Amino acid sequence: MNNVQTRNPHFRSLMMITSLFFLFGFITCLNDILVPHLKQLFTLSYTQAILIQFAFFSSYFVVSIPASKFCENYGYQRGLFTGLGITAVGAFGFLGSAHFSSFQLFLCSFFVLAAGITLIQVAANPYVTLLGPSSTASARLTIVQAFNSLGTTVAPLIGSYLILSNQSVNSVEAPYIVIGFALVALAIFIALVKLPSFKSQASEDAPWSELFANKRLVMGMMGIFTYVGAEVAIGSFLINYLGSAHVMALTPEVAGRYVAFYWGGAMVGRFLGTPLLAKYRPASVLQLFATGTMIMTALSVFGTGEFAMWTILSVGLFNSIMFPTIFSQSIEGLKRGTEKASGLLCMSIVGGAIVPLIQGMMADRIELRYSFILPIVCYAYIWMFAGYLRSKTSPITSAAPATAVTA
């Protein structure tokens, strides 16, 4: 460890940021447990239950730009501290929501929780790129993103044991009390320690009209929208899907454990995909992985039993490289206005609110299995976007995102 610290004097700060990535990955993935849990407790339709994800991911659309302005005015450290405080308020809000047994209060808590996480991400991602040499910035982002994926992998296992094993609204209290106090402890730690301070290195500004006239960027915004939407939609309905008669008819508690394979696949895929992105054109790798998601989802929809289960879980593996690749390729070649462009791409994460809601509506009108056709349509757009990128990029193009948020 001493050798690592010698090479990077900001090692301790980087480890602290890494813990934040793990924590908000864990919190985000707990939503996949709470969607079926609250659906059953409050006797909700699929459309009503998926309002959980709508409340959570709509916060990205509302908060991303104000969060970037906050960090620009007050710095990364205050951004992290404030974001942790807001997230803690959202976590403790679950106690009141459970006490009053109010689904509406749960939705408010989800929105506040995500607002804090959005501010943390907006502050943490560029901060990570500054905590060391610029030549290794992409490697640092890959490491912290891996810990984000670790959080999403662990969350279904712990959530299934603590929440789905107890069919009571009060079962959400213990996990979020622990999360709330962990957030408060981290906020106090960040307030007391002296973190490295960096001056803003913003690029030359550009008018919004210029950015919206950039076809590559606009298509990339839709790419982020469809990717996050498809990934969140599949994760949100997995427990109900695995519990359906045509798949495995698993109980919610058992099905929840299998969700870890979906998110764990994304973690493994990030490590496997990195050398592919270094050797081949990112657009080609993106198109290959998009093909994988479409094939696996279709095979699951029209398959049965264990085959249907493992094919849908394998989609996580192919999801792995999509977000950072779409993000970085969308802003490639921009001469100015990259901060605004990044803000627009972050706002496009609202796809995690819209696509699952539409799929929920479909599930209420047709069989749940056939509602998974919607994610296939989303992945088909990404496949077409990758084809567009292939026609516009040179054979060797860097795929490393400079300030991409994780998803």
Q: Is residue 393 helix, strand or coil?
A: coil
Instruction: Please give the Cα distance from 342 to 344 (Å, whole number).
Output: 5
Distances (CA, A) of 396 to 136, 149, 284, 360, 390: 19, 28, 11, 41, 11
CA-wise closest residue to 359 among 226, 254, 257, 265: 226
Residue 246, φ and ψ in degrees, nearest 5: -80, -10
List pLDDT tens digits, range 346-368: 899 999 999 999 999 999 999 99
pLDDT category at 139 given cuts 50, 70, 90 is low
Place of tokens 């730009």: 65
DSSP string, 193-243: S--------PPPP--HHHHHT-HHHHHHHHHHHHHHHHHHHHHHHHHHHHT
Sorted by where each starts, the structural domains of the chain and their CATH numbers stand as 10-196 (1.20.1250.20), 206-400 (1.20.1250.20)
Is residue 102 left, alpha or beta, with left meaning phi > 0 and alpha meaning psi from -120 to 50?
beta
Q: What is the mean pLDDT of residues 330-339?
A: 81
List pLDDT tens digits, range 29-63: 999 999 999 999 999 999 999 999 999 999 999 99
CA atoms within 13 A on the CB side of 96: 12
List pLDDT tens digits, range 64-105: 889 888 887 888 889 999 999 999 999 999 999 999 999 999
